[in-house]
Amino acid sequence: MKTFIIIFTLFFSSLFADETPVITDAWSYQTSDMSLTIENIKEHDTHFKKMDENSSPTTPQWIKLKLQDDLESGKYIVSYGHADFDLSSFSPQQQMQKFMLYSSKRVSFIYQKERDSKVYYVRLLPTDVTYPSYGFAQSEEKFYEGIDGILIYLFIAGIVLGLIMMTAIYNGSLYYFNHEKSFLYYALMQVFMVGVLFFHTGMQNTISPYFLSNPFVYEYLSLFTAFFAVLFARSFLNTKEYLPTHDKVLLLFLLIIVLDIFYFPKAILGDFGLYSITTAYFLVVGFLRMRQGYKPALFFFIGWSALTIGILVVEYFDEIAYFDTMLLGSTIEAIMLAIALAYKIRQIQSEKEQQKELMIHQSKLASMGEMIGNIAHQWRQPLTHLSYILMNIEELDDKEQRSKKVVEGTKQLEFMSQTIDDFRDFYASDKEKERFNLVNETQHVLDLINLENIEILFEVKEEVEIFNYKNEYKQVLLNLLSNAKEALMKNSVDNPTITIEIDENAVKISDNAGGINKENLQKIFEPYFTTKDKSSGIGLYMSKMIVEKNMGGSLSVKNKNGGAVFEINIK
């Protein structure tokens, strides 16, 4: 940050600065000699030295304004800061008046070429020891031309700060919905960046130059911006996993920033101009991640390059810069990082889709295993019966009796064939909705599943036909019944009972297995959540997805009467 402030009127003229030096209507000189008075000051004119950026007086001082020789008569305005007038050599006829404009002090006076002096002495009382006092004179026309420049620059800066703040809010909302830390870190980084730019552009002078001009505020904003920038780079580029060595360097930067925050004002980054070095290191890390094939790192690299150049120029080459590189670099960085984060969202969604497809595939495999188990159960009795028939046929001599046994065996084979057809239809994907009876299809599922030693209570309050995907309903019901069966067996329940209640388009499946733990009740439908030893944890998740996404209904669970109650509502 500059310790010497020249007139900010010309500094704020526009985003791009003029290549030529600032032309003023007066030269400013200063002295810290306290022995001078307004009566003897002209005799000690040699005590005054031309004001420059190294001036930093901390005691009351005199300022000499020497108007240029070729100035025309007219109204002139002196802009000054960090001090106040005590005495002056302006005559009453010059109508000297103080006023404030854009929270900066001004003094206007009338100059008549033939009447008034070209040299004026003003004693200033510094009000802020951090900055030097300064004085600067311009004609009224030049002054208000500069004011127009202020408005242009502030308009540009306001748009940039608004853009950056919007990206902060947007990324904050992305974190809320996605719980991805990189969005949170970037949002916080941009919030503090807005504060840094608010100071950098001088916009704080339009509000309260006395409080907000404190350099400590600016430095703390810079440190917190750097702190969250490091966290963002680590999270967004996932350096801990892919670049562990560089991740340790970033952690070192974090340590330095924390030390700067707690041991300020001895700031390591600020005093040694290391902000640009820190951001430049992000470029190295971004480039390495880009080489590893991480596509969002490309936008990260471009955006951070612009910001790094902007900070580098401000820290080391601000005096020769022709435009505000910090403001321009921050704009490019905000745009490119927004693209990078949007690309990352796309990758996250793609990964979620892949995970969903994997879960569906795992669910199908689990269903196939369940199907094979149920077929084995359904075939066990017919196969046993067939073996008895074959044994009897071998022992029978009567042709008529053998024929009866063959017919009986054929019926068993037909039953087994029908069982295969039933399971094939059961697991077939529904392509179109159809009208079906809930009671009939529920009974069909009960016929297919092995629920030996479990009492089944099937209660129908009102029978109804619905128009939906039949097999998907049956698949969900089979999964719920299987879970109830496993819970009853696991808990070794006496008199195990499953109750199925149908009331119009609502189906309730309840058991007396003890219910679900309260801490698990809210997680039961989450993917991969399971309380079983050998389970993928996707059965209930997929059941809920089928009912709510495919069938347009709802699936819920609660504890009641010493067991769990699952309720399916189908439209």
Q: How many CB atoms lie within 10 A of CB 46?
A: 7
| pLDDT of 319 | 54
Q: Which of 513, 487, 507, 509 is nearest to 499 (CA)?
A: 509
* C-beta separation of 134 from 24 below 8 A: no
Provide the 8-state DSSP code for 18.
Answer: P
| pLDDT of 13 | 32
3-state helix, strand, coil in the chain (%, to 5): 55, 20, 25
Is residue 17 predicted with pLDDT exceeding 50?
Answer: no
Contacts for 457 with CB less than 8 Å, ≥ 6 apart: 497, 498, 499, 500
Q: What mean pLDDT comes out for the span 461-485?
A: 85
Is residue 511 predicted with pLDDT exceeding 70?
Answer: yes
Q: What mean pLDDT comes out for the span 73-101?
A: 80
Q: What is the 3-state secondary structure (H, E, C) of 71-112?
A: CCCEEEEEEEECEEEEEECCCHHHCCEEEEECCEEEEEEEEC
Q: Which of 29-38, 313-322, 444-453 has the lowest mean pLDDT?
A: 313-322
| pLDDT of 66 | 86
| pLDDT of 188 | 94
Q: Which of 91-95, 119-123, 516-520 has the highest mean pLDDT?
A: 91-95
Q: What mean pLDDT comes out for the span 27-32?
A: 77
Q: How confident is the model at residue 22 (pLDDT cuts 50, 70, 90)?
A: very low
* C-beta separation of 44 from 62 below 8 A: no
For residues 395-421, b (16+ Cβ closer than 10 Å) or e, as one string? eeeeeeeeeebeeebeebeeebeebee
- What is the distance in angstroms between the CA of the first residue and the CA of the last residue of the chain? 67
Q: pLDDT tens across 245-298, in order?
A: 999 999 998 988 888 888 755 566 666 666 777 888 889 999 999 999 888 889
Distance separating alpha carbons of residues 30 and 3, to the nearest angstrom: 17
Of residues 95 and 215, the one with the higher pLDDT is 95
**DSSP per-residue letters across 485-553:** HHHHHHTT-SS-EEEEEEETTEEEEEE-S----HHHHTTTTSTT--SSSS--S-HHHHHHHIIIIISS-
Q: Which of 8, 228, 237, 231 is nearest to 102 (CA)?
A: 8
Q: Which of 168, 165, 163 is nearest to 185 (CA)?
A: 168
Cβ-based burial of 555 (10 A; exposed 0-12, middle 13-18, buried ≥19): buried
Q: How many CB atoms lie within 10 A of CB 434?
A: 12
> In the sheet that 455-462 helps form, which strands lie side by side, from edge to edge?
455-462, 497-503, 506-511, 563-569, 554-560
Is residue 508 predicted with pLDDT exceeding 90?
Answer: yes
Average pLDDT, the chain: 77
Is residue 351 predicted with pLDDT exceeding 80?
Answer: no
Q: What mean pLDDT comes out for the span 137-149?
A: 76
Q: What mean pLDDT comes out for the span 338-367?
A: 73
| pLDDT of 163 | 87
| pLDDT of 309 | 85
- How many alpha carbons fall within 13 Å on the CB side of residue 490? 15
Q: How confident is the model at residue 12 (pLDDT cuts 50, 70, 90)?
A: very low
Q: How confident is the model at residue 362 (pLDDT cuts 50, 70, 90)?
A: low
Helices H, strands E: what count in the chain? Answer: 16, 16
Contacts for 35 with CB less than 8 Å, ≥ 6 apart: none
